[in-house]
Amino acid sequence: MTSIAPFHGFGLGLRRTHYADFLEGDVPVDFVEVISENYMVEGGKPLRILEQVRAKHPVILHGVSLSIGSAYGLDHDYLAKLKALADRIEPLWVSDHLCWTRNSAHNSHDLLPMPITREALEVVCENIDRAQTALGRVMLFENPSSYLAFPQDEMAEWEFLSEMARRTGCYLLLDVNNVHVSAQNRGFSAQDYIAGLPLDRVRQIHLAGHTLGEIVIDTHDRAVCGEVWALYAETIARTGPVATMIERDDKIPPLADLLAELDHARALAAQRIAA
- Say whether pLDDT at 156 is over 60: yes
pLDDT of residue 149: 87
pLDDT of residue 179: 97
pLDDT of residue 102: 65
Tens digits of per-residue pLDDT, 86-118? 999 999 999 999 998 866 555 656 787 889 999
Least confident interval from 63-67, 87-91, 148-152: 148-152
Q: In the chain, pLDDT over 90 holds for what percent of residues?
A: 85
Average pLDDT over residues 136-155: 94
| Angle in degrees, 0-180, between the axes of helices 76-89 and 45-54, rounded to the nearest 10 | 40
d(CA 275, CA 238): 11
What are the structural domains of the chain?
10-274 (3.20.20.150)
The residues facing 244 across adjacent strands are: 10, 205
Is 119 exposed, middle or buried (CB count within 10 Å of its CB: 0-12, 13-18, 19+)?
exposed
Average pLDDT over residues 40-62: 95
pLDDT of residue 42: 86
d(CA 103, CA 81): 19
Name which residue leads in pLDDT, 114 or 85: 85
All residues at 6 or more sequence positions from 187 whose CB lies less than 8 Å from its CB, including other chains:
none
Q: What distances in angstroms separate CA 264 from CA 18, 30, 223, 229, one per listed residue?
A: 20, 15, 12, 9
pLDDT of residue 275: 85
d(CA 88, CA 177): 31
Q: What is the mean pLDDT of the chain?
A: 94
pLDDT of residue 148: 85
Tens digits of per-residue pLDDT, 190-235? 999 999 999 999 999 999 999 988 898 889 889 999 999 999 999 9
CB 97 within 8 A of CB 64: yes
Tens digits of per-residue pLDDT, 157-171? 999 999 999 999 999
- Say whether pLDDT at 11 is over 90: yes
pLDDT of residue 214: 86
d(CA 245, CA 50): 18
